[in-house]
Amino acid sequence: MSANQVILINQNFEVSGEVIVFEDELMRVQVTGEHPVKRAEYVLAIYKGKQIESKVISVKADEISLLIPQLPQDYFSDRRNFPRITVDFPALLIQTVKQSHGAEENILPIRLHDLSHRGFSFTIDHDLDFIPDTVSRVIVQSEQLPIYCDIITTNEIEQFGRKRYGARIQFIHSDNIRLLYGYMFAKQV
C-alpha cells in the first residue's frame, strides 16, 4: 500500500484510489475503472492506517471528492483507529437470560458516554444484574440518535467509583448505521 493509497468503503462497495489532494476538509481521490460511488453517500476512507468517516461531495469518472471532518493535528499519530465522539445519551440495555423455566429479559437503564461507528462506552447505575461478555440489545433513547443495535462488552474499567464498559457493535441495521454515520459526521464537521 503506497503512502497516498486510500480505500473507500461502505456497505455496498470497496473502491481503491490515490489521494491527489488532501487540504483542510477536502480529499480528492483518483480512481481507475468503473465504481458504484454516488454523491452524498457516507463512506469510510481508510488512509494511513486510520478510518475516517466522510461524505462524498463530487463524483467524476476518474475522481471522487470527499468532505472530511476537521481532524486534530495529531490524528495520524493517535493510537486509536476509530476515534470516538463524546456523548451523554440515555439508553436501555436488554439481555436475555436463560432460566430453568424459559428465557427472561433483563432491561437495564444505561448511559452512553462516547461512540464510534464500531462501538461505544457506557455506565450502568445498578449493574448487579448485568452479565458482561454476552450479546445484548441497546436502544438509544435520544431524538438526536434514535438507533438500536446488538453489542458485546469488550472491557470494563473502574472510573469515579463505578464501572465503565466498552462495547463493540455486533449487528446494526443499515438504516441505523446511516443515522449513526450522519450523526457522527455532523458532530465532527
Encode pLDDT of 13-44 as tens digits.
899 999 999 988 899 999 998 899 999 999 98
**Contact indicator for 12, 20 with CB cutoff of 8 Å:** no
Q: Cα–Cα distances in Å, from 148 out to 145, 175, 179, 182?
A: 9, 10, 10, 15
Cα 81 to Cα 123: distance, rounded to the nearest angstrom = 23
Set of cell numbers at residue 114? 462516547
Reply yes or no on whether the pLDDT at 103 is more than 70: yes
170: left (phi over 0), alpha (psi -120 to 50) or beta: alpha
pLDDT at position 78, please? 52
Domains of the chain: 5-77 (2.40.10), 85-188 (2.40.10.220)
Q: 65-76 burial by CB neighbour count: b if 16+ within 10 A, else e?
A: bbebbebeeeee
pLDDT bracket for residue 80 (50, 70, 90)? low
pTM, two decimals, is: 0.59
What is the mean predicted confidence (pLDDT) over 87-109?
87
Q: What is the pLDDT of residue 112?
A: 94
Nearest Cα to Cα of residue 150 among 181, 127, 173, 129: 173
Instruction: Write the pLDDT tens digit of every residue in 129-187.
Output: 788 888 899 999 999 999 999 999 988 888 777 889 999 999 988 888 888 888 887 87
Helix (H/G/I), strand (E/B), else coil: 103: strand
148-164 per-residue burial string, b: 16 or more CB within 10 A, e: under 16: ebebebeebeeeeeeeb
d(CA 105, CA 101): 13
Q: Which helix (H) or strand (E) holds 174?
A: helix 174-188
The sign one gets for the Cα dihedral 165, 167, 173, 177 is positive
Specify the higher pLDDT residue, 21 or 81. 21
